[in-house]
Amino acid sequence: MMSEKGFKKVVLGMSGGVDSTLGAFLAAEALGPENVTGILMPYKSSSPASLEHAGLSADKLGIETMIIDITPMVDAYFVRFPDADHVRRGNKMARERMSILYDQAQRGGSLVLGTSNKTETMLGYSTIHGDSASAFNPLGAIYKTEVWMMANLMGVPKVIVEKAPTADLWEGQTDEGELGIDYLTADRILYHLIELKSAENEIEALGIPKAKISAIKNLIEKSEFKRKMPDVPVLQR
């Protein structure tokens, strides 16, 4: 696919989490470490461990990295909107990071590699034109639990695989806390709904509470717009 697009290099954001780390491992193996650049884009509230883990992975792979602090850009905007909540601030951070990735891709003649997994995409746990934006996403067809399995197979450091998943958008934030459900349960429901086309009562028979199934179905429906291209008028010509 890379050759079809006329590129041989990629850039990706490296947060220190398992998704972006696995993306870097896959890219380095497929393209060679010399063709992969990891961009580390911390905000002032980012965990120091996130930066440390991203650096650990980059060093293990031998890929080039660049650190760009997004604090000045994000804070300059919110000076005007000091009452903005966590969601608005988190979305702004995600879009700032993607803006940087696309600029660095242009600078280096590279493609932006996406690192969102299928669980996040189906539940709408992403920012439009933020972390969901990329030219190619090798993780887009696998669920979060499969990301963990593949990360172990690829040799991703255990400290990264085993830590609580977080977008690191504010202190104490975790994916599962925001979603209100653990990834293992979410993936079981998603797999049966999407891959097996199971009915709700069939999933309940597995011992999964109806409330959790309904919550997942609601997240899928509410986020459908995130998975579609913008609507355009249909004209008669």
Ligand-binding site membership of 99 (annotated): no
Ligand-binding site membership of 15 (annotated): yes
Ligand-binding site membership of 224 (annotated): no
Ligand-binding site membership of 13 (annotated): yes
At 40, give phi and psi (nearest 5°). -100, 120
Distance CA 26, CA 138 (A): 8
Ligand-binding site membership of 176 (annotated): no
Ligand-binding site membership of 74 (annotated): no
Ligand-binding site membership of 95 (annotated): yes
Ligand-binding site membership of 16 (annotated): yes
Write out 160-214 in H/E/C secondary structure: HHCCCCCCCCCCCCCHHHHHCCCHHHHHHHHHHHHHCCCCHHHHHCCCCCHHHHH
Ligand-binding site membership of 21 (annotated): no
136 in Cβ contact with 2 (< 8 Å):
yes
Distance CA 101, CA 75 (A): 19
Ligand-binding site membership of 144 (annotated): yes
Ligand-binding site membership of 166 (annotated): yes
Of the CA atoms within 13 Å of residue 20, those in its CB half-sphere come to 30
Distance CA 183, CA 161 (A): 13
- Binding site for ATP, by residue number, is 13-20, 115, 144, 166
- Binding site, by residue number, is 13-20, 95, 115, 120, 144, 166
- Binding site for Mg(2+), by residue number, is 19, 120
